[in-house]
Amino acid sequence: MHFERGALALVGAFVSVLIVVAMFSPPQDGTASPRASIGMAEPLILTGGLAPYQVTSTPIPAIESAEALDDFDVAAGPVGSSAKTLHKTFGRLGYHLESIKSGDNLVPRVFLSSLPEDMALVPENNQRKAIFFQAMLPLVLQVNEEILADRRRLWKMRYQTGLGETPDAADRLWLRVMTERYKVKAGDISALISRIDIIPPSLALAQAAEESGWGTSRFAKEGNAMFGQWTFSSSAGLTPAKRDEGKNHKVRAFDSLIDSVRAYTMNLNNHRAYKGFREARQAIRRAGGDLDGRRLAGTLTKYSERGQAYVTALRGLIDYNALSPLDGARLDGNPPGEQTASVI
């Protein structure tokens, strides 16, 4: 009873305070017009509501006028999901490849769940390629950030064990999961470090362009399959129209583009066919050099049945489109808890 009386008295006092405040500061007549603004805090999500894990809340350029939003819908992405509208949106964000390559700007956190279906209808070849690279680059950088977070955690554990310290229970459980995922001996941190590492953006972009026909292939449009990965599952994947007789593989399909990028990086970091790629990458690390997509492309003769001709095609794409400077590209803002984008 005493509690109920006390609670009622407290509520009464609160109401009295509100009345006094209203007397001295009455609310203004009318309502304020809402101001259209695309956030200074959240990543911009386009076409389908992609929400990659560990996406950081960092600023992107704001679109502050209603006129600037005529062709844009935050929830659904560019109206009609056309390549033309996407190109205009990138322009309004100040997202241009040349400024990224020169190091003048960072890459905005703009993530697409799928490419526009009319990519093949873009009349200008250079514009179509630019849209493709602009769409894929943030996804590649996002996945690389996720990989780097795991890599830093591994180095921290290696440092702890080197000092004779025992990692906590959460880290030990995480390490067990990683060893199973990457198929290395339990507790072998060194083996994990050689596998858990980034893919240079120039290489990832060149392979995506080569394998998906610049985003125009049936596999890219129907299954977000950007890297031509095979699957032998009877239910998952898309059947190639010209599959050789006697073969039963399919092209693996994905719910979103970032799932395709994650699977691609796992493939290079884990499959036995790309051991040479990982060894070359680790050698560059040990020498203190920067990872070079063009150089590492030379290790991927087993990625395609075309062998060396495939490597030549990748290097041609990297050179002709001047992709190598993108190996130094970074997303706008730092990953959670990180002050720099340095690579261990």
List, for residues 6-16, the tens digit of each pLDDT value.
544 554 555 45
List, for residues 164-180, the tens digit of each pLDDT value.
999 999 999 999 999 99
Q: Which of 46-55, 116-125, 326-335 has the lowest mean pLDDT?
A: 46-55
Q: Is the pTM of this model over 0.85?
A: no
In the prediction, which pLDDT does 252 show? 84
Sign of the four-CA dihedral 249, 238, 310, 326: negative
For residues 238 and 252, what is the distance between their CA atoms, to the nearest angstrom? 6
In the prediction, which pLDDT does 228 show? 79
Reported confidence tier of residue 230, pLDDT bands at 50, 70, 90: low
Reported confidence tier of residue 304, pLDDT bands at 50, 70, 90: very high
Contact 235, 254 (CB under 8 A): no
Contact 193, 151 (CB under 8 A): yes
Q: Which of 32-46, 159-173, 297-311 has the lowest mean pLDDT?
A: 32-46
- Whose structure tokens read 């990297």? 318
What type of residue sits at position 35? R
CA dihedral in degrees (322, 327, 333, 339; nearest 10)? -150
- Confidence check: pLDDT of 17 > 90: no
Nearest-5° angle of CA 262, CA 308, CA 229?
25
Contact 198, 88 (CB under 8 A): no
Reported confidence tier of residue 259, pLDDT bands at 50, 70, 90: very high
Contact 314, 210 (CB under 8 A): yes
Comparing CA positions, the residue from 314, 332, 335 lying closest to residue 324 is: 314
Residue scoring higher pLDDT (34 or 139)? 139
Q: Is 49 left (phi over 0), alpha (psi -120 to 50) or beta?
A: left
For residues 221 and 209, what is the distance between their CA atoms, to the nearest angstrom? 13
Provide the token pair at 245.
């007789």
Q: How many CB atoms lie within 10 A of CB 105?
A: 18
In the prediction, which pLDDT does 251 show? 77
Helix, strand or coil, per DSSP, at residue 26: coil
For residues 211 and 223, what is the distance between their CA atoms, to the nearest angstrom? 13
In the prediction, which pLDDT does 334 show? 59
Average pLDDT, the chain: 77
What are phi and psi for residue 306, nearest 5 degrees? -80, -10
Reported confidence tier of residue 240, pLDDT bands at 50, 70, 90: low
In the prediction, which pLDDT does 22 show? 45
Report helix angle 125-162 to 169-181, nearest 10.
Answer: 130
